[in-house]
Amino acid sequence: MSLQNDSWRFLAFLCHISNEGSKLHRFFCGNVETLEQEGIRDSLLDFHKEWYSANIMKLCMSGRHSLEKLEKMATDLFSPIVNKDVVLPDLSKPTFPYTEANLG
């Protein structure tokens, strides 16, 4: 969908040339072809198992219903999410996306 969009192409280029250890050096979006790669579903399921935890989630609801109704909906829909006590990684010391080698 974004093949003809210069902004997306430029972002993909910046990601591609960035330092492999940085958070920028990753795949942002795909298509049917990229999603059909072997192991992609298992990778997504593993990500879900590791990171889908109530303790690192936030919820914001808005609607025309009463506050009581919204609260009941939130409780019914989101209480089943398990708290896995996930500890988020320390991102205060970033790996810089470009090094001398990446900049040429």
The per-residue pLDDT for 1 is 61
Task: Say what the pLDDT of residue 5 is.
Answer: 80
Residue 22 lies in a domain: yes
Provide the number of structural domains found in the chain.
1
Percentage of residues in the chain with pLDDT exceeding 70?
A: 96
The pLDDT tens digits along the chain (104 residues) read 666 788 888 888 888 888 888 888 877 777 778 778 899 889 989 999 999 999 999 999 999 999 999 999 999 999 999 999 999 988 788 778 888 887 77
Report if residue 1 sits inside a domain. Answer: no
| Residue 87 included in any domain | yes
Instruction: Give the structural domain span for 89.
Output: 6-103
Q: What is the pLDDT of residue 2?
A: 62
Tell me the CATH number at 43.
Answer: 3.30.830.10
Helix (H, G, I), strand (E, B) or coil at 78: helix
- Cβ contacts of 31 within 8 Å, gap of 6 or more: 1
Q: What angle do CA 36, 41, 43 make, to 5 degrees?
A: 120
For residue 76, being part of any structural domain is answered with: yes
Q: CA gyration radius for the chain?
A: 19
Nearest-5° Cα angle at 95, 91 to 100:
165
38 in a structural domain: yes
In a domain, 23, yes or no: yes
pLDDT of residue 81: 96
pLDDT in tens, 40-62: 889 989 999 999 999 999 999 99
